[in-house]
Amino acid sequence: MSDSRCHYIPPKWLDAVAGKTLFYPCAGGDIAEPLQVFAPVISDFWFSDIGYPAGLKMAPALRSFGGFTYTLTGKLINGDPLATIERRDGYRFLPPSRRIETYSRPDGSSFRVIRRRGFGEIALGTEFPDMSVGVFFHRGDSPGEGGSNVRFFENKWRRHEPLRNLFSTLIRKLTEPALIVSDGSLTPPLHPIGQFHRSRMSSAEAFESCRDREWLADGLRWTCVGFVGRRNGPTLVWAVQRA
């Protein structure tokens, strides 16, 4: 496979998450590629960031990449998009608000793009029914320098219960199978999905070195099935199934 390909996911794995939700916490402005790759199949895209502008005054999400064939058919904002971050009993809280855009595909089917202004770890626990998130997308994040330092792939104890054991919450929210897209940001030491973090390899090269290989970790089978564009290292797509 040539390195010039910027993303690759076999149709079998896109079909496996068709009609499901994609959740990308701490997404910032990184929405174009997730939309480009998954818009043909995903029903609800959730991008979450505490830095989305007050008022949620933003350009339509699908303007973020060229050559698209989707039509914006509706837009609404709910929650208080002017809310500010509050300090509560030892944790920070931002009352959530959501900018919800609806798009139609050429075949008449539709999907939604939700940009949620609020904490991603709270969104994970509150916005999704169990077994509904088909794609968990997370890259470009870090412990400092504007990164969230939120450990979605670990079970850390936190005094505020919704912030505790995020990995168990994530697993509960995932469909079976699900895809996890990660560049290894904020993953635990020695975890298979962190093995290329900060490496200079292209995503395609990293994928070739572990294509279709399986790892057992956390009671799950992790199979490397594809790749998307680099962030803090190559970004791989992992199929996750209960072992």
Ligand X SMILES: C[S@@+](CC[C@H](N)C(=O)[O-])C[C@H]1O[C@@H](n2cnc3c(N)ncnc32)[C@H](O)[C@@H]1O
Beta strands in 28-96 (DSSP E): 44-49, 71-79, 86-88, 91-93
Residue 95 found at the interface with ligand X (CB under 6 A): no
Q: Which stretch binds ligand X (CB under 6 A): 39-47, 114-122, 197-205, 214-222?
A: 114-122
Under the binding rule (CB under 6 A), the answer on residue 22 touching ligand X is no
The verdict on 49 binding ligand X (CB under 6 A) reads yes
Among 10, 51, 53, 55, binds ligand X (CB under 6 A): 51
In this structure, are residues 141 and 197 in contact, taking their beta carbons and an 8 Å threshold?
no
Q: Which residue's CB is nearer to ligand X, number 48 or number 195?
A: 48
Is the Cβ–Cβ distance between 104 and 71 less than 8 Å? yes
| Contact set for ligand X, span 137-156 (CB under 6 A) | 139-142, 146-148, 150
Q: Min. distance of Cβ 109 from ligand X in angstroms?
A: 28
What distance in Å separates the CA atoms of residue 81 and residue 242, rounded to the nearest whole number? 38
Q: What are phi and psi of 224, to 5 degrees?
A: -80, 110
Dihedral class, residue 48 (left if φ above 0, else alpha if ψ from -120 to 50, else beta): beta
Residue 45 or 119: the one with the smaller Cβ distance to ligand X is 119
Asked if 19 interacts with ligand X (CB under 6 A), we say no
CB of 242 to ligand X, least distance (A): 27
